[in-house]
Amino acid sequence: MAFEKAGWEDVTPGAPLGLDPAIVALGRSLFFDPVLSRDRTLACASCHDPAASFSDPRPRSTGLGGQTERHAPTLVNRILGEAFMWDGAAPTLEDQVLMPLANPVEMDLPADRAAARLAEDPAWTARFEQALGGPPTRARLASALATFVRALVQGDSPVDRFLDGDVEALSAEEEAGMWVFESRGKCWRCHNGANFSDERLHATGVGAKDGRAEEGQFAVTGQEEHRGRFKTPTLRGLAHSAPYMHDGSLASLEDVVEFYRRGGEPHGNPSPLMEPLELTDADAANLVAFLKALTPR
Is residue 242 within 8 A of residue 252, CB to CB? The reply is yes
Report if residue 289 touches ligand HEC, rule: CB under 6 A. no
Is residue 177 within 8 A of residue 290, CB to CB? The reply is yes
Report if residue 136 touches ligand HEC, rule: CB under 6 A. no
Is residue 232 within 8 A of residue 194, CB to CB? The reply is no
Is residue 118 within 8 A of residue 127, CB to CB? The reply is no
Least distance between ligand HEC and beta carbon 124 (Å): 15
Is residue 287 within 8 A of residue 258, CB to CB? The reply is no
Report if residue 274 touches ligand HEC, rule: CB under 6 A. yes
Report if residue 111 touches ligand HEC, rule: CB under 6 A. no
Least distance between ligand HEC and beta carbon 280 (Å): 13
Report if residue 155 touches ligand HEC, rule: CB under 6 A. no
Residues 6 or more apart whose CB falls under 8 angstroms from that of 222 comprise none
97, 142, 194, 208: which one contacts ligand HEC (CB under 6 A)? 97
Is residue 231 within 8 A of residue 86, CB to CB? The reply is yes
Least distance between ligand HEC and beta carbon 249 (Å): 8
Q: Return the range that interacts with ligand HEC (CB under 6 A); candidates 3-11, 120-128, 164-172, 200-208.
A: 200-208
Q: Return the range that interacts with ligand HEC (CB under 6 A); candidates 18-26, 162-170, 217-225, 256-264.
A: 256-264
Burial 94-115 (b: 16+ CB within 10 A, else e): bebbbebbebeebbbbbbeebb
Choose between 113 and 186: whose C-beta lies nearer to ligand HEC.
Answer: 186
Q: What is the number of alpha carbons within 13 Å of residue 82 lying toward its C-beta?
A: 9
C-alpha distance from residue 155 to each of 67, 125, 164 (Å): 32, 35, 12
Least distance between ligand HEC and beta carbon 151 (Å): 12
Is residue 128 within 8 A of residue 136, CB to CB? The reply is yes
Report if residue 29 touches ligand HEC, rule: CB under 6 A. no
d(CA 212, CA 103): 27
Residue type, 89: A
Least distance between ligand HEC and beta carbon 227 (Å): 12
Choose between 100 and 155: whose C-beta lies nearer to ligand HEC.
Answer: 100
Count residues binding ligand HEC (CB under 6 A): 56
Interface residues toward ligand HEC, by CB under 6 A:
31, 36, 42, 44, 46-48, 61, 63, 68-70, 72-75, 78, 81, 84-86, 93, 96-97, 100-101, 106-107, 145, 149, 185-187, 189-191, 202, 204, 206, 230, 232-233, 235, 238, 241, 244-246, 256-257, 260, 271, 273-274, 287, 291
